[in-house]
């Protein structure tokens, strides 16, 4: 699946494992930094206008940024709550469930769109691609598709392949009226963290490649482009985690 040599990720993951058990203070600071980074990047690629610094101020100090929409502030708070829930859920050994996925969506939409938080879509959803409009499954199909997805997820190993496939499958079902991308990336990172990997941030500068690779997969051209991007980001994050913890 990956276009990144397996030895690269394996070596860095082995080094990360060797650093365990990680000192709680050093790990806490690193996780906090990345949780804000994940909040900023995941919201930014969906159109949120807060910068990385502004996102930090909203989360850490509760500051309102002048000239920025209230919705953008609420999205920052929502996503940060959701990624903290991901950290908590990752420490549990029980299989992931359909309710866990709906709870991720509920948290990531609880302030910004409470009327749809945790609820399956009741409207048609579609995306505009370079070849035209691509429709997602109808609302009546969602419960069965999510049941099948949850059954697969419950028995899949906590590996990068599972994480990236879960992200792709959830985006393909598009079970919610809004917030599908943020929820899929949260789920991807939940699986990665459970497997002992660091979370992956899809950055604003990755947005065009990310969207095009999703559209290519939805158009039947395979997932190689998306997998390549996600494995590159995982490799970079592994490098950052190992370097930061080595210094600590």
Strand partners, 242: none
Task: Provide the token pair at 232.
Answer: 């590159």
CA distances for 165 relative to 46, 76, 84, 235, 240, angstroms: 20, 26, 22, 17, 24
What value does the CA radius of gyration of the chain take, rounded to a whole number of Å?
Answer: 18
The catalytic site residues sit at 174
């Amino acid at each position: 699946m990956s276009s990144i040599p397996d030895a690269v990720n394996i070596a860095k993951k082995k080094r990360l494992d060797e650093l365990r058990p990680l000192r709680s203070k050093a790990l806490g600071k690193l996780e906090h930094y990345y949780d804000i980074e994940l909040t900023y990047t995941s919201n930014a690629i969906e159109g949120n206008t807060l910068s990385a610094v502004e996102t930090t101020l909203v989360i850490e100090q509760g500051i309102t940024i002048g000239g920025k929409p209230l919705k953008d502030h609420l999205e920052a708070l929502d996503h940060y709550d959701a990624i903290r829930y991901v950290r908590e859920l990752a420490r549990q050994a029980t299989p992931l469930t359909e309710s866990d996925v709906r709870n991720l969506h509920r948290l990531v939409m609880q302030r910004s769109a409470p009327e749809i938080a945790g609820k399956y879509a009741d409207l048609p959803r579609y995306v505009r691609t370079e070849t035209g409009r691509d429709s997602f499954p109808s609302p009546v199909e969602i419960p069965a598709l999510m049941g099948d997805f949850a059954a697969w997820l419950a028995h899949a190993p906590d590996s990068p392949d599972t994480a990236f496939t879960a992200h792709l499958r959830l985006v393909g079902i598009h079970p919610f009226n809004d917030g599908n991308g943020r929820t899929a990336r949260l789920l991807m990172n939940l699986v990665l963290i459970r497997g002992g990997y660091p979370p992956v941030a899809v950055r604003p500068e990755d947005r065009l490649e990310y969207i095009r690779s999703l559209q290519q997969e939805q158009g039947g051209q395979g997932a190689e482009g998306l997998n390549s991007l996600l494995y590159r980001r995982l490799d970079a994050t592994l490098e950052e985690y190992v370097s930061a913890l080595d210094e600590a």
